[in-house]
Structure 1
């Protein structure tokens, strides 16, 4: 009998509203902050935590990276992939329902990302080694990086985690970016 009353009470609009409005208000207020009219809300999109590497050296075939902080070192996988860039774009119009396309071409460079879930947002010591096809060293450098928090949903939403980046020039120079 009590179960029947709960069901029939829940089906009554007034009774149901009294039970769920606090939950709706709580979700609205705590979802990702209050959303102002005309602004986009925070989504659940995240950001990979780690170090990105861009290599312009023409003979680069592979790379390794070691990242150290607070007496701990990590050697995550760092695979290099061919880089490309958009060189031509076409659009059918400017309305939201229109579409655009892009053509890409290889740059001759390579890129990779070393995932480091525990990477802190403070200076870290990095050893980067870039090798050619035969396994000979092209670059073997130590550099200090300072990972910074990234905000994939914009500055008014929670951070996605810290990231840092390294660029290796065609001449073997290594810089933080």
Structure 2
């Protein structure tokens, strides 16, 4: 099954939150959702020898093992604006970084430590306890919070949770 390569899904519509902004109007919240799960970032300085990954996640007496589909990472490079006016058009271009990223959707991910084993091409297991945190796609006032965790591969191949 193909996994979606993005951690945040953005929809083009806006919805109003019930939070007052002081002007009598509700705060405008983008219709976004976060994927409940664990993401993996392999920066360019750590990517050598890594073309595939898997994660085994264990908590509450059960374990799940998932392949992590790795995608080329990119960053946005500012391409400037047509003017400084509020209705001016600005653009950016995606530029490859040389790194990779992937994510594993996990329904029912707890906010307690999850024994996580990450394995790359060399078959060496990297075991760590990962504690998911509550994250909101557009701020707590807009709702939609889910448990997430981000793992990062260090240049020596070690895996750490990024907080």
Shorter chain as normaliser: what TM range?
0.7 to 0.9
1:62 corresponds to 2:38: no
Which protein has the bigger strand share? 2
Whether contact under 8 Å (2:18, 2:26) holds in the other structure is no
Q: Structure 1 residue 57: deviation in Å?
A: 2.2
For normalisation by structure 1, the TM-score amounts to 0.71
Report the Cα distance in structure 1 between the residues aligned to 2:79 and 2:26, rounded to whole angstroms: 28
Q: After alignment, is 73-82 or 95-104 more displaced?
A: 95-104
Which one of 35, 39, 54 corresponds to residue 52 of structure 1? 39
Contiguous gaps of at least 5 residues in structure 2: 1-15
Aligned residue number for residue 102 of structure 1: 92
Aligned Cα root-mean-square deviation (Å): 2.1
Structure label with greater radius of gyration: 1
**What does the per-residue CA deviation read over 1:135-163, in whole Å, with 9 as the maximum and x for residues that have no partner?**
x33x5200111101111121223242110
What does residue range 84-123 of structure 1 map to in structure 2 within 5 Å?
A: 84-123=74-113
1:80 corresponds to 2:67: no
Whether contact under 8 Å (2:37, 2:106) holds in the other structure is yes
Report the Cα distance in structure 1 between the residues aligned to 2:142 and 2:97, rounded to whole angstroms: 34
Which protein has the bigger helix share? 1
Aligned residue number for residue 27 of structure 1: none
Report the Cα distance in structure 1 between the residues aligned to 2:114 and 2:89, rounded to whole angstroms: 43
Report the Cα distance in structure 2 between the residues aligned to 1:43 and 1:104, rounded to whole angstroms: 22
Whether contact under 8 Å (1:125, 1:145) holds in the other structure is yes
Report the Cα distance in structure 2 between the residues aligned to 1:140 and 1:69, rounded to whole angstroms: 18
Q: Structure 1 residue 116: deviation in Å?
A: 0.4
Q: Structure 1 residue 81: deviation in Å?
A: 0.4
Change (3 A) 1:91 1:167: same
Report the Cα distance in structure 2 between the residues aligned to 1:93 and 1:117, rounded to whole angstroms: 45
Report the Cα distance in structure 1 between the residues aligned to 2:141 and 2:19, rounded to whole angstroms: 10
Runs of 4+ residues deviating >3 angstroms = 41-44
Q: Secondary structure at the match of 2:109?
A: coil
For normalisation by structure 2, the TM-score amounts to 0.76
Whether contact under 8 Å (1:50, 1:119) holds in the other structure is yes
